[in-house]
Structure 1
Amino acid sequence: MLLYKLWRSFIKEILLLKRDIGGIVIIFVMPLLLIITITLIQDSTFKNLEGSKIPVIFIDKDKSEVSKNIKKELENSKTFQLLTNFNEKSAQDAVFSGDYQMAIVIPENLTKDLNSNIDSKVQTIVKSFGIETDSAVAKKPVSKTKEIHLYFDPATNVGFKNSVMNSVNKMVFEIENKKIYKAFQDQLGTTDNLEENKNLISFKEITPKKGAVEIMPNSVQHNVPAWALFAIFFIVVPLSINLVKEKSQGTSVRVRVSPTPYYIHILGKTCTYLIICIIQFLLMVAVGIYLFPYMDLPQFDVTGKMFHLIIVTIFAGLAAIGFGVLLGTLADTQEQSAPFGATSVVVLAAIGGIWVPVFLMPEFMQHIAKFSPMNWGLNAYYDIILRNSGIAGIAKELVLLFLFYLAMVTISIFYERKLHSV
Structure 2
Amino acid sequence: MLLYKLWRSFIKEILLLKRDIGGIVIIFVMPLLLIVTITLIQDSTFKNLEGSKIPIIFIDNDKSEVSKNIKGELENSKTFQLLTNFNEKSAQDAVFSGDYQMAIVIPENLTKDLNSNIDSKVQTIVSSFGLENDSVKTKIEAPKAKEIHLYFDPATNAGFKNSVMNSVNKMVFEIENKKIYKAFQDQLGTTENLDENKNLISFKEITPKKGEMDVMPNSVQHNVPAWTLFAIFFIVVPLSINLVKEKSQGTSVRARISPTPYFVHILGKTFTYLIICIIQFLLMVAVGIYLFPYMDLPAFDVSGKMFQLVTVTLFAGLAAIGFGVLLGTIADTQEQSAPFGATSVVVLAAIGGIWVPVFLMPEFMQTVAKFSPMNWGLNAYYDIILRNSGIGGIAKELVFLFLFYLATVAISIFYERKQNAV
The alignment's TM-score, normalised by the length of structure 1, stands at 0.90
SS in 2 for 1:136: coil
User: Cα distance, 1:288 vs. partner?
Assistant: 2.0
Change over 3 Å in CA distance of 1:249–1:147 after alignment to 2: farther
Q: Structure 2 CA distance, aligned partners of 1:46 and 1:365?
A: 23
Q: Distance in 2 between matches of 1:357 and 1:7?
A: 41
Partner of 1:156: 156
Aligned position for 1:218: 217
Give the alignment's Cα RMSD to 1 decimal: 2.5
Alignment of 1:274-285 (within 5 A): 274-285=274-285
Cross-structure match for 2:261: 261
Alpha-carbon distance in 2 for matches of 1:309, 1:76? 39
Measure how far apart 1:196 and its partner are: 5.6
Q: 1:196 to 1:108 in 2, by over 3 A?
A: closer
Give the aligned partner of residue 179 of structure 2: 179
In the TM superposition, what is the alpha-carbon distance from 1:49 to its structure 2 partner? 5.0
AA partner of residue 392 (structure 1): G
**Cα distance in 2 between the residues matched to 1:74 and 1:383:** 34
CA drift of 1:135 comes to: 4.4
**1:329 lines up with 2:337 in the alignment:** no
Cα deviation per residue 1:187-233 (whole Å; 9 max; x = unaligned)? 122345676641222222223345x5455133133332222122211
Deviation at 1:177, TM superposition (A): 2.1
1:281 to partner: Cα distance = 0.8
Is the contact made by 2:132 and 2:188 (CA closer than 8 Å) also made in structure 1?
Answer: no
What is the deviation of 1:392?
Answer: 2.3
Q: Residue type of the partner of 2:138? A: A
The residue aligned with 2:408 is 408
Bigger drift between 42-51 and 183-192 goes to: 42-51
Structure 2 CA distance for aligned equivalents of residues 77 and 209 of structure 1? 22
Deviation at 1:359, TM superposition (A): 3.5
Alpha-carbon distance in structure 1 between the residues aligned to 2:142 and 2:127: 16
Partners of 2:40 and 2:166 in 1: how far apart? 28
Q: Which amino acid aligns with 1:143?
A: K
Q: CA offset at residue 319 of structure 1?
A: 0.4
Contact 1:51 1:78 in 2 (8 A): yes
Alignment-derived partner of residue 244 in structure 2: 244
AA of the residue aligned to 1:267: L
The Cα shift of 1:407 comes to: 0.5
Residue in structure 1 matched with residue 390 of structure 2 by the alignment:
390
Could you tell me which runs of 5 or more consecutive residues in structure 1 were left unpaired when the two chains were aligned: none
Partner residue, 1:136:
138
Deviations 1:113-170 (A, max 9, x none): 32232122212222233212644344x13523x3322222233333333332232222
Deviations 1:312-338 (A, max 9, x none): 111110001101111122223333322
Distance 2:83 2:392 in 1: 55
Change in Cα spacing, 1:188 to 1:224, as seen in structure 2 (3 Å) is same
Matched, 1:83 2:83: yes
Q: Which residue of 1 aligns with 2:106?
A: 106
Partner Cα separation in structure 2 for residue 418 and residue 191 of structure 1: 92
- Kindly state the Cα deviation for residue 83 of structure 1 after the two structures are TM-superposed: 2.5
Q: 1:335 to 1:151 in 2, by over 3 A?
A: farther
Tell me how far apart the structure 1 counterparts of residues 33 and 182 of structure 2 sit (CA, whole Å): 59
Q: Label 1:248 to 1:113 Cα distance change in 2 as closer, same or farther (>3 A).
A: farther
Extract unaligned runs of 5+ from structure 2: none
How high is the TM-score relative to the length of structure 2? 0.90
Q: Is the CA contact 2:65–2:111 (under 8 Å) kept in the aligned structure 1?
A: yes
* Partner secondary structure for residue 150 of structure 1: strand
Matched residue, 1:273: 273
Q: Distance in 2 between matches of 1:224 and 1:202?
A: 36
Q: Distance in 1 between matches of 2:323 and 2:35?
A: 23
Aligned residues of 2:61 and 2:105 also touching (Cα < 8 A) = yes
Relative to structure 1, the CA distance from residue 48 to residue 240 in structure 2 (aligned partners, 3 Å threshold; closer, same or farther) is same
Q: State the identity %.
A: 88
C-alpha separation in 1, matches of 2:33 and 2:116: 61
CA distance in 2 between partners of 1:386 and 1:132 (Å): 58
Matched residue type, 2:103: A
- Match of 1:115, SS? helix
1:120·1:142 contact (CA, 8 Å) conserved in 2?
no
Distance 2:182 2:249 in 1: 87
1:402: how far off? 1.0
User: The residue matched to 2:138 in structure 1 has which SS?
Assistant: helix
How many residue pairs align between the two structures? 419
Determine helix, strand or coil for the equivalent of 1:156.
coil
The amino acid that maps onto 1:311 is: T
Larger mean Cα displacement after TM superposition, 344-353 or 401-410: 344-353
CA contact 1:182–1:194 (8 Å) conserved in 2: no
CA spacing shift, 1:168–1:37, aligned 2, 3 Å: farther
Could you tell me how far apart the structure 2 residues matched to 1:42 and 1:119 are? Answer: 51
Q: Deviations over 1:381-414 (max 9, x none)?
A: 2222222222222222222111110110111111
Quote the Cα distance in structure 2 between the aligned partners of 1:205 and 1:78: 16
Q: Partner of 2:56 in structure 1? A: 56
Alpha-carbon contact 2:207-2:216 (below 8 Å) kept: no
Could you tell me which amino acid in structure 1 is paired with residue 104 of structure 2? Answer: I
- Tell me the amino acid that sits aligned with residue 389 of structure 1: S
Query: Given the superposition, is the C-alpha separation of residues 263 and 331 from structure 1 closer, same or farther in structure 2, using an over 3 Å criterion?
Result: same
CA 1:48 to 1:401, structure 2 compared with 1: closer, same or farther past 3 Å? closer
Task: Provide the C-alpha distance between the structure 2 equivalents of 1:270 and 1:154, rounded to a whole number of angstroms.
Answer: 53
Moved more, 268-277 or 109-118: 109-118
